[in-house]
Each structure stands twice: as C-alpha cells, then as structure tokens.
Amino acid sequence: MRARAAGAPVVHVQHVSAQGTRFEPGGAGRRIHARVAPRAGEAIIEKRKPDGFQGSTLEGVLRELGRTDLVLCGFATEACFDSTVRSTHARGFTLELAADGHSTTANPVLDAKSIIAHHNFVLSRFAKVKPGAEIAFA
C-alpha cells in the first residue's frame, strides 16, 4: 500500500456483530483481505454500527495520531462507507476518497457499479473524490 510506503499511519475499522451472524467474532464476514491485512503496530478498531465512529474508539485513535487529513477506503459503499464518510466530515476532518477504493454488492434496485458511481458523486459534497492513483500520502 502506498500509505504504508509513505509512512502514513493506517487504521483498520472492522465490523463485529453477535454470535450467529455473518460478522460474528471469527466469522467469515470479518476476514480482512490479505492485500490490506493489518500489520504490526496498525490500529484495529471494532465497530458495531454502520458509522465507524459511533460507539467505537476511532475518533480518539485519530486524534491521538494527530491526523486531521484522512483518506478513506472501504466496503459497503451505500451503508458503512457512506455513514463513516459523512460522520468523518461532521467531526471536522478533511477527507479524500479513492473513487476506486470502495466497493459493494448489487441490491434489488441498483447494480454495484451504479451504487459506487452514485456515491462518488454524492460524497463529493463531503470529501475530495479522486482516483486512488492521484492520492498522495504524507
């Protein structure tokens, strides 16, 4: 990851739900893809709500790192990603989004590509949206 190569801190936010659900502790839905798996020293924040800040330690960790300019990537574009982007903005952070750094699955109304395109447009009100290759890390 370019963020790691630049020495920027990387913080992972991982959803957790009750036993018997897709996101139960140790469940398949909680696996982080090997390409972005946490490395030693990287914070892992557990969340139970779509908004990565609600009821979690995310804001405290970011403030402790002294970071106000953030880059956000993630899954569930129309749910967790959208909620966390808006909440990040509301907390006064400056945000860049990799237009190609979030994903989702189709739903009965829209295919995944349309959901992502729509959210890149809408979330540009809260963040600078650009291709991931154009994001610089410091």
Q: Work out whether the CA dihedral 98, 134, 36, 114 comes out positive or negative.
A: positive
By CB atoms closer than 10 A (0-12, 13-18, 19+), residue 102 is buried
Pair of tokens at residue 12: 């992972």
Catalytic residue among 80, 95, 99, 116: 80
**Could you give the 3-state DSSP secondary structure of residue 134?**
helix
Number of H helices, E strands in the chain: 4, 5
CA dist 95 and 89 (Å) reads: 7
CB contact at 8 A, 99 and 120: yes
Residue 80 among the catalytic residues: yes
As annotated, the active-site residues are 80
